[in-house]
Amino acid sequence: MKTGVKICGLTDGAGLKAASDAAADWIGFVFFERSPRFVTPTEAAELIASHEGALPKIVGLFVKASDAQIAETLATVKLDILQLYDTPERARAIKARFGLPVWLSCAVESQDDLPKDTDLDGYVIEPRAPGNASRPGGNGISLDWALLRNWHAPFPWMLAGGLNPDNIAQAIAASHAPAVDVSSGVETAPGCKSPDMIRNFIKNARGTCAPDRN
């Protein structure tokens, strides 16, 4: 089974081109102002418009966003999927209101934290951010991958947090993640994506197949 790859927090055309050319499955834009990867909806739309060729599916990342913020974003940039940092109840309401697939980010410290609801379109499984962090993700922190190894989730999910080109093969082997998501691990500085690191991340993730769970 091919491991799905999402490259999140793109801020420039070079990163977008590297992710697209290397056949990422999804690219993400961060619509959260306190992130070093923040882009405005207009900036995201301009990046997409200036790209030549096919694009991966486009994910918009929102943290505790109001309906108005999501509506204003969607009026400017076409998104395929909404990735939310919010409660399951709010995620369900946003899915119903906007009619787009919703992935809910889920902070996991132990197996008890793993999601059980099946009514969303997917989950991003990542570590809980430290108490003093200014954002709930994108902190380059890993969770214990072995927690996920025997998890038979009845819905799509991806592993995130602290992944990079050097550890991605080990992370997939240890967690059996069907898909992976990276942001800070393919950057030379916060918010500065490295095309080389993006290519290496995707190459190394694709060289490692998650075992077929069936």
Residues that bind ligand LGQLAAA5 (CB under 6 A): 8-9, 28, 30, 32, 35, 37, 61, 63, 85, 124, 126, 135-140, 160-163, 181-185
Minimum distance, C-beta of residue 152 to ligand LGQLAAA5, in the bound complex (Å): 22
Which residue, 84 or 210, has its beta carbon nearer to ligand LGQLAAA5? 84
Q: What is the dihedral of CA 48, 78, 38, 125, to 10 degrees?
A: -110
Minimum distance, C-beta of residue 83 to ligand LGQLAAA5, in the bound complex (Å): 7
Which residue, 128 or 206, has its beta carbon nearer to ligand LGQLAAA5? 128
Which residue, 53 or 130, has its beta carbon nearer to ligand LGQLAAA5? 130
Q: What are phi and psi of 190, to 5 degrees?
A: -55, 120
Minimum distance, C-beta of residue 214 to ligand LGQLAAA5, in the bound complex (Å): 26
Which residue, 40 or 139, has its beta carbon nearer to ligand LGQLAAA5? 139
Which residue, 52 or 100, has its beta carbon nearer to ligand LGQLAAA5? 100
Minimum distance, C-beta of residue 108 to ligand LGQLAAA5, in the bound complex (Å): 12
Which residue, 8 or 210, has its beta carbon nearer to ligand LGQLAAA5? 8
Minimum distance, C-beta of residue 195 to ligand LGQLAAA5, in the bound complex (Å): 17
Minimum distance, C-beta of residue 177 to ligand LGQLAAA5, in the bound complex (Å): 12
Three state DSSP letters for the chain: CCCEEEECCCCCHHHHHHHHHCCCCEEEEECCCCCCCECCHHHHHHHHHHCCCCCCEEEEEEECCCHHHHHHHHHHCCCCEEEEECCHHHHHHHHHHHCCCEEEEEECCCHHHCCCCCCCCEEEEECCCCCCCCCCCCCCCCCCHHHHCCCCCCCCEEEECCCCCCCHHHHHHHHCCCEEEECHHHEEECCEECHHHHHHHHHHHHCCCCCCCC
